[in-house]
């Protein structure tokens, strides 16, 4: 059995992969892509990147970064 936690980037706590399977974009209800380097969850449909802070995804549209 593999460890469900994704190895953290230096200075970042681990992000649990099982959480990613349960989370969806609050606008589109679509699945999200995890980007470890930026510590973000990407919603391609909404064009937003939701931050992960201290291992916890912040799924607020007001906190999301707009993708270029």
- Find the Cα–Cα–Cα–Cα dihedral 32, 33, 35, 39, rounded to 10°: 10
Domains of the chain: 19-66 (2.20.25.10)
Average pLDDT, the chain: 84
pLDDT digit string, tens, across residues 41-62: 999 999 999 999 988 899 999 9
Residue 42 and residue 61: Cα distance in Å, rounded?
Answer: 12
Distances (CA, A) of 27 to 3, 6, 17, 45, 47: 30, 25, 21, 9, 10
CA dihedral for 19, 34, 47, 60, sign (positive or negative): positive
Residue 64 and residue 50: Cα distance in Å, rounded?
Answer: 5
């Amino acid at each position: 059995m593999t460890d469900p936690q994704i190895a953290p980037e230096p200075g970042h706590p681990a992000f649990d992969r099982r959480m990613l399977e349960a989370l969806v974009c609050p606008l589109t209800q679509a699945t999200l892509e995890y980007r470890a380097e930026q510590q973000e969850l990407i919603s391609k449909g909404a064009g937003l990147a939701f931050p992960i802070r201290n291992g916890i995804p912040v799924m607020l549209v007001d906190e999301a970064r707009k993708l270029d």
